[in-house]
Structure 1
Amino acid sequence: MNDSLNFVKPYLRGWPIIIGAMVLAFLIASRYLQYVTPMYESTAKLRLADLTEGVPNSNLFKDLDVFASTQKINGEIELLKSYALISKALEKVPFEVQVFRSGSIRKTELFQDSPVIITPLQWNENLKDVTFRLSISENQDLTIRDEKNNVYSGHIGDTVLIENSLAVIQLNETLLKEKNYLKIADEYLFTVNSLSKQISQINAGIDIIAVDKDIPVIRISFKSSHPGKAAMFPNALAEAYIEDYIENKYGAANVTVQFLNERIAEISEKLVESEEMILNYRDVNSITNIKQETETDLRQISQLKIQQTNLKMSLEAIKDLEKYVQSGKENFLELAPNFEAFTDLLSTEIIKNIKQLQAEKKDLLLQYTEKDEKVIVVDAKIQDLTSYLAESITNTRKNLQTKYDKLSFDISESEKVFIEVPEKERMMTILNREFEIFQQSYNFLNQKKIEAEIAKAAKIAFHRIITPASISKEPVSPNRIIIKAVSAILGMFGAMSLIFVVHMLKGRVNDQASVESNSMIPIAAAVPKLKNDNEKEDFFLKTIAQWEVKGLLNNNQISCFTGFDHKHGVSFIAKEMANAAWRQSRKVLLLEIRNQDIEPGSDFYQEEIINKNTIKGIVSASQLKTVTTKDWQEFLQKKASEYDQTIIINTDFGQPYTLATMAASGLNIVCLDTRLTPAKLITEVDLIKEEYKLPQVFLALNRAGYNPSLIRESIQFIQKGLKTLKRKG
């Protein structure tokens, strides 16, 4: 958890800088807000006429825009932003002359709060958009200076000649009665704005949007440094929009009425001509009603065809019966014809008589022979009846054939009537179509004429100002709370960025995690900031025990403590380890290699007794240069054999005998300081170990987890500086 929060430590250490930056940014923002010009905003809401509902959709007022389509909200917004409408709105507001009260740092627009009223009478174009400085004295004398420093003098109420232009400068009596505390004698700035500049100022502050895409309501917002000015223009623009709508509607309606009158007269003449053509064609072709006449003839032909069909079926049946009877005439009694097509009563009675005679003959044949008179008489009767029946069938067939031919002739004659019908119908359709076109046009134009005349007479608009703009009491910008808060936050981020940059440029070891991420050499000890002797004693005794358990520390062993600088904790850790070993009644040799010279003629090695178990040996680095590496290493081995522990405070990396001393040691501790050792040196330890094959190399981190307060370090730095000055003094 601590390792994951290591990145926070530089910011915790630099919290005074962060707080100071936030306070400074807050103060700067507060100072800025004292001089910035506040902006006020007022909003008016305009509801557009909805042609799909309400009064505009009634029969009387329907489509008062004559041929206008449903209004597009975006189109109306662009119309409100147009040069034409803004120009009309500017005619309703006194925006031509701007008056400012001039201050040492900023200027304040007065508008209707100005104690003086400046009215240009004849103002040349070359003097428009030019700023003039107006000074009014206590006795109401005035002095006007232009940008070229030309001076024009006068008195309140006079008409002042400025170059070749005239302007009246007088007191605002109405305002001064209401606010008699207003100061008149002061420094002012005024400008007579051209129309283009007024429009550019309006465009810079106006915002026109739709409340919702499905709701025909437009919101007109305007920002200005004066609240009265901000409230006045949205209302003026909405009024100008409605007036322009009515004006355009009336003009369109007037033009439309004239156009419709001309078209109606033209269509009326063509309609009369079409009526006369239809009448003449009917008279020439004796047409009353083609449709009814045709329907009557068709109905008659249909009935005839039904009769023809029935006759044809009866005729076909009787033909089949006649053919059947004629083919079996010799054996008539053996025939079994179908008499469905021949069903009159006489034929039925004849069939019955034939059947009775057949039965009677069968009975007679039981008693008599074929040649008996009774049998012969019966055969004669049967022969007469069958001949009669066959002749009757033939006559019936002839009669049906005659009727069928007659019906076919009648149908053919009736159908001749329809030969001329298509042409008559085509001509009548053409004539009626032309007549209907002219009639529809005539009716449509008359209806539109009525609507246009209503629109011309009714000078009203269904657009409404549903929310007029009111004077805002609070400015919308600058937002003081947000600006101060954002300034403080920016100050915080700026300070944090500065701390981050300094921390990265400084590039110190900082913590155990940064060492482990940059080096493969294990950390043997992470020495915290120890405040007193008891903490030092406990920590280093614990460290010796841990090293012995891990097998790092053995009897008669040389432990070499090396670093890139002695200030990085080399001497401190080596001496404390020697003290801890001494407390355990070990015989300790603390050997320190110093760069300072010793007395001439002395040996390179000298000893001094610290206590009964600790001997401090001092080696002169300059004298050591006269000793070979082999002799030096043998010397160290000999000394180590005389003591339980030999602890060497080695020279810094880069010195001549630093690596030789480390090679002769059984344990090499490279000391790093979290506040002093550059992080880039960590990898160098790995390279040195690999290149020179140094035995048992471990790292010791001095002041691990130490994150001193910036205030404390500043105090210490000041105290150190004072001590230095005292010594010099």
Structure 2
Amino acid sequence: MKSNPTSDETLNPPSIPGFKDFNLKDLLLKYLRYWYWFVLCFIVFTVCAYVSLRYSVPQYEVSSTIVISQEDNLSDAGLSVFKDLGLEQSNDQIENEIQILKSKTLIKNVITKLKLHVQYFYEGRVLDIEEYEKPIVTIDFLVPDSLLYRRSGIFNVRINSGTSFSFIDTDGNELSAHDFGTPVATSVGEAVLIPNQTNINSAVGKVIKIKLLPVRSLVASYRARLMITRVGQNSSVLQVSLRDAVIPKAEDFINNLVDAYGTRTINNKKETSNKTAQFINDRLTDISEDLSSVDNQAAKYMSQYGITEDVAGSSGRLADISTENKRQIAIYETQNLLIQSTIDFLKNKEAKNEVIPSNLGIDDSSISTDIGKYNTLVLQRKKLLKTSTIKNPVVVKIDDQLAGLREVLFQSLVSLQDKVAIKLNSVQRRENGFQSKLYQAPERQKDLREIAREQGVTEQLYLYLLQKKEEADITSHITVPNSRIIDRASPTSFLPVSPNKSSTYFLSTVLSLFLPFVVLYIRELLNTNVKSKRDLEELVSAPIIGTIPKGKYKNQFAIDKTSRSPVSEAFRILRTNINFLLAGVEKPTGKIIFTTSSVSGEGKTFISSNIAKTLAISGHKVAFIGTDFRFPKFHEVIDLPNGKATTGFTNYIMSTDISIEDIIYTEKGEDPLRVIPPGVIPPNPSGLLMNERVQTMFEYLEKNYDYIVVDTAPVSLVTDTLLISKFADLTVYVVKENFSDKRLLSIPEKYYQEGRLVNMAVLLNYASTNMGGAYGYGYGYNVKNK
């Protein structure tokens, strides 16, 4: 009665290695089933792209090219100072200049200078058109700039005549009428509208929209659109670009921004020169007073003691011997005075962040170099503080460097002062030794020589500072910016850079393909139902005995002798495969075929009844038995004489008074089946199926019928089918497409591997026949279901 499971090599041919998990044709067909989704998305995105292009304001790109000077004119230290401090014209320095060009202060100054916060628009058919160069009217607000720059507003102005206008609302209704040139009240404050006499008469009846924008938001907008890039990795040439809807406005903005940047550099250099000149002037004032005091002292002394020029001249001849000593003393005292002045400047806390006067003649190259470094850092710090705060890491780093340089300068100056003092003392000792020889000279002559010496030292220092003052004045008048303009602002192209029509339509096409694909793909991922025969092949190793397509039927059976529908042909193929699988069963008649499934609703009863009908049409004697007692659908497909109350399988098992012939009925219609209905629903179906009368019934049917088709209960819900599976020669396991959960396919796979369902084969029911499905006929049948 039983046979071993049949190999699936014949019914399921092995697939080519590497192509089992992927088939391009199947993939395309699966998504082409939803071709209307792609067409609809293509239409929607194309329309959206067209609308976007139609109502987007074209943007043009304007650029200028400048070069940042490689020389630093802020100190005598030159480029070497920058290298020593790691602040040379490298990437970091150029980046600092870029940030200065993009600073809010610089951009705000350009916006307010050009009055870009006030914009004028004409009404167009689709978009409002901005007029920048020659607006029909201009508006001047009579409010302080500090308040005006914070406010915003939109004013619709209709030109009534060459001398009058009206404010209107968004619907075109007049709000108030005024004359040009007279103050009018607005939501921002009083304002005066001035007409452009060259074109005001041609604009009568037109509406002009005036927009007032907050300067802060406009600064943010320009900063976002302003692009500054280096031309070459190690180049100091910068390209300044801006995208705007109005080319002349963008050109004016860039040109004024570059000019403002150059003016700022010149002002910084002048500040350094002015500081130096101021320091020298202060020293000249003090020394001039000292020189005057010494001259007065000499005149008073000579007058008091009646000293004449001849006496002074004779005394002078005596001083020729010590001339060289006194000259050296004067030099060293001058050096000491300059050193002490610089030390006093370093000790002054109020001048902590000011430049140290340079070119004062301190005879030490390292100190002059350090002063140059110090001045460079002070100016760099001031430059950064205009765009950041004292907490900026770069500013903090510069403060630390300034503190270190101040300490180094202080120590160096003290050390140099000690050296000068040693040299001065040495010369003075020599001079004192010589002066000891002059003790015979008159005391008055000696005092006079002391006065003359002090007078000479003071005069020498005064002349030295006058020379440095002249140099500082010359430097302040020959300052040049550290940038030069290579190309003034001009459009890179007269075609708009955005929106890009090709890119927009390309993106819409990509989205129209990508979005439906993603939605369908996600839906496929979330759908755990069996979608095709491929799912069965991947998850169940049992042979697939056939595929039954979708169909609609006029009666309970999908097949008869004359039917040529795809479903009828599918059952005929199924009949052939059943005979193939039963070929190994060693009994001439009475072959028992079980049909089962995982859950109710997978079409098990439909499949079993049509298998029985197909075998009966072919001339075989067939018995059809219903053993699904819990959810019987037997009576929905079999038309019995006595309807649902007919005595059946359970009545025979429970009562010995009922014979097998009593429960066998003949189905109505052509090629009728012999059927055994389930009977009444028993209280304990599982226990009932273990009755020995079950075996007796199957033995009787095997002797009297060619085929016995048994509609059994679902195996995942109850154990009824497993209790009687030993009587089967073939078990057809039904799986319904787009209904059966793939997670439940582990049940038939387990039973197949364990051999608990005899000679098991899987059948796919309700398979798709449209494009992309797993089932289809190529025989050219056009006959409708009968």
TM-score by length of 2: 0.56
1:543 and 2:577 correspond: yes
1:185 and 2:209 correspond: no
2:97 corresponds to: 76
1:635 and 2:703 correspond: no
Q: How many Å separate the matches in 2 of 1:96 and 1:243?
A: 23
- 8 Å CA contact 1:557–1:644 kept in 2: the answer is yes
Report the alpha carbon displacement of residue 236 of structure 1 after superposing the two structures with TM: 0.9
Aligned equivalent of 1:502, options 491, 501, 523:
523
Report the alpha carbon displacement of residue 64 of structure 1 after superposing the two structures with TM: 9.3
Structure 1 pair 547–234 and aligned structure 2 pair: CA distance change class (3 A):
same
- 8 Å CA contact 1:119–1:169 kept in 2: the answer is yes
Structure 1 pair 84–664 and aligned structure 2 pair: CA distance change class (3 A):
same
Q: How many Å separate the matches in 1 of 2:50 and 2:570?
A: 51
1:411 corresponds to: none
- 8 Å CA contact 1:591–1:616 kept in 2: the answer is no
Alpha-carbon deviations, 1:508-557, whole Å to 9, x = none? Answer: 212344335545x6134242759648954773365245424676997422
1:133 and 2:195 correspond: no
Aligned equivalent of 2:43, options 14, 23, 26:
23
User: What are structure 1's unaligned runs of at least 5 residues?
Assistant: 282-425, 433-440, 714-729
- 8 Å CA contact 2:732–2:763 kept in 1: the answer is yes
Aligned equivalent of 1:211, options 215, 219, 231:
231
Q: How many Å separate the matches in 2 of 1:88 and 1:144?
A: 33
Structure 1 pair 123–560 and aligned structure 2 pair: CA distance change class (3 A):
same
1:617 and 2:638 correspond: no
1:561 corresponds to: 595
Structure 1 pair 501–280 and aligned structure 2 pair: CA distance change class (3 A):
closer
Q: How many Å separate the matches in 2 of 1:635 and 1:617?
A: 14
2:389 corresponds to: none
Alpha-carbon deviations, 1:171-201, whole Å to 9, x = none? Answer: 3344669xx6x6852262432x565454344
Aligned-partner residue type, residue 639 of structure 1: L
Aligned equivalent of 1:4, options 22, 31, 45:
22
Aligned-partner residue type, residue 619 of structure 1: I
Q: How many Å separate the matches in 2 of 1:553 and 1:494?
A: 59
Alpha-carbon deviations, 1:294-319, whole Å to 9, x = none? Answer: xxxxxxxxxxxxxxxxxxxxxxxxxx
TM-score by length of 1: 0.60
Q: How many Å separate the matches in 2 of 1:96 and 1:9?
A: 58
Aligned equivalent of 2:325, options 246, 267, 277:
277
1:169 corresponds to: 193
1:221 and 2:266 correspond: no
How do 1:410-425 and structure 2 match up within 5 A?
none
> After alignment, is 236-245 or 499-508 more displaced?
499-508
How do 1:373-384 and structure 2 match up within 5 A?
none
Aligned-partner residue type, residue 599 of structure 1: N
Report the alpha carbon displacement of residue 616 of structure 1 after superposing the two structures with TM: 1.2
Aligned-partner residue type, residue 699 of structure 1: V
Structure 1 pair 161–577 and aligned structure 2 pair: CA distance change class (3 A):
closer
- 8 Å CA contact 1:157–1:168 kept in 2: the answer is yes
Alpha-carbon deviations, 1:686-727, whole Å to 9, x = none? Answer: 5778999443333222366856469x99xxxxxxxxxxxxxx
Alpha-carbon deviations, 1:597-642, whole Å to 9, x = none? Answer: 751775533124877xx65123333447599533345323321222
> After alignment, is 673-682 or 255-264 more displaced?
255-264
- 8 Å CA contact 1:526–1:703 kept in 2: the answer is no
Structure 1 pair 212–277 and aligned structure 2 pair: CA distance change class (3 A):
farther
Structure 1 pair 113–671 and aligned structure 2 pair: CA distance change class (3 A):
farther
Structure 1 pair 572–431 and aligned structure 2 pair: CA distance change class (3 A):
farther
Alpha-carbon deviations, 1:224-253, whole Å to 9, x = none? Answer: 343332232111100111222233334433
SS in structure 1 of the partner of residue 264 of structure 2:
helix
Aligned-partner residue type, residue 177 of structure 2: S
Report the alpha carbon displacement of residue 499 of structure 1 after superposing the two structures with TM: 1.8
- 8 Å CA contact 2:71–2:482 kept in 1: the answer is no
How do 1:545-624 and structure 2 match up within 5 A?
546-548=580-582, 555-563=589-597, 568=602, 570=604, 574=608, 587-591=621-625, 594-596=634-636, 599=642, 602-604=646-648, 605-608=664-667, 616-623=673-680
Structure 1 pair 70–91 and aligned structure 2 pair: CA distance change class (3 A):
farther
Report the alpha carbon displacement of residue 38 of structure 1 after superposing the two structures with TM: 4.3
Higher Rg of the two aligned structures: 1
2:731 corresponds to: 668
Structure 1 pair 431–65 and aligned structure 2 pair: CA distance change class (3 A):
farther
- 8 Å CA contact 2:66–2:239 kept in 1: the answer is yes
- 8 Å CA contact 2:616–2:622 kept in 1: the answer is yes
Aligned equivalent of 1:247, options 251, 267, 272:
267
How do 1:226-305 and structure 2 match up within 5 A?
226-256=246-276, 259=279, 276-277=324-325
Q: How many Å separate the matches in 2 of 1:463 and 1:100?
A: 36
Q: How many Å separate the matches in 1 of 2:706 and 2:543?
A: 24
- 8 Å CA contact 1:606–1:619 kept in 2: the answer is yes
Q: How many Å separate the matches in 2 of 1:457 and 1:647?
A: 115
Q: How many Å separate the matches in 1 of 2:525 and 2:81?
A: 74
- 8 Å CA contact 2:622–2:674 kept in 1: the answer is no
Structure 1 pair 452–528 and aligned structure 2 pair: CA distance change class (3 A):
farther
Structure 1 pair 457–151 and aligned structure 2 pair: CA distance change class (3 A):
same
Report the alpha carbon displacement of residue 136 of structure 1 after superposing the two structures with TM: 0.8
Structure 1 pair 637–708 and aligned structure 2 pair: CA distance change class (3 A):
farther
Aligned-partner residue type, residue 192 of structure 2: V
Structure 1 pair 234–151 and aligned structure 2 pair: CA distance change class (3 A):
same
Report the alpha carbon displacement of residue 124 of structure 1 after superposing the two structures with TM: 7.1
How do 1:102-141 and structure 2 match up within 5 A?
109-112=130-133, 114-122=135-143, 126=147, 129-136=151-158, 138-139=160-161, 141=165
Q: How many Å separate the matches in 2 of 1:651 and 1:66?
A: 96
Structure 1 pair 137–517 and aligned structure 2 pair: CA distance change class (3 A):
same
2:65 corresponds to: 45
Q: How many Å separate the matches in 2 of 1:582 and 1:275?
A: 148
Report the alpha carbon displacement of residue 262 of structure 1 after superposing the two structures with TM: 7.8
Q: How many Å separate the matches in 2 of 1:17 and 1:587?
A: 51
Structure 1 pair 27–634 and aligned structure 2 pair: CA distance change class (3 A):
farther
How do 1:276-425 and structure 2 match up within 5 A?
276-277=324-325
Q: How many Å separate the matches in 2 of 1:183 and 1:208?
A: 43
Alpha-carbon deviations, 1:619-674, whole Å to 9, x = none? Answer: 33344759953334532332122233323344656589656664532221111122
Aligned-partner residue type, residue 595 of structure 1: H
2:478 corresponds to: 458
Aligned-partner residue type, residue 21 of structure 2: D
Aligned-partner residue type, residue 456 of structure 1: S
Q: How many Å separate the matches in 1 of 2:548 and 2:464?
A: 101
2:506 corresponds to: 485
> After alignment, is 207-216 or 103-112 more displaced?
103-112
RMSD of Structure 2 on Structure 1 (CA): 5.2
Structure 1 pair 66–572 and aligned structure 2 pair: CA distance change class (3 A):
closer
Work out the percentage of aligned pairs sharing the same amino acid. Answer: 20
Alpha-carbon deviations, 1:300-339, whole Å to 9, x = none? Answer: xxxxxxxxxxxxxxxxxxxxxxxxxxxxxxxxxxxxxxxx
2:651 corresponds to: none
SS in structure 1 of the partner of residue 489 of structure 2:
coil
Structure 1 pair 621–549 and aligned structure 2 pair: CA distance change class (3 A):
closer
Q: How many Å separate the matches in 1 of 2:704 and 2:463?
A: 134
Report the alpha carbon displacement of residue 481 of structure 1 after superposing the two structures with TM: 3.5
- 8 Å CA contact 2:29–2:772 kept in 1: the answer is no
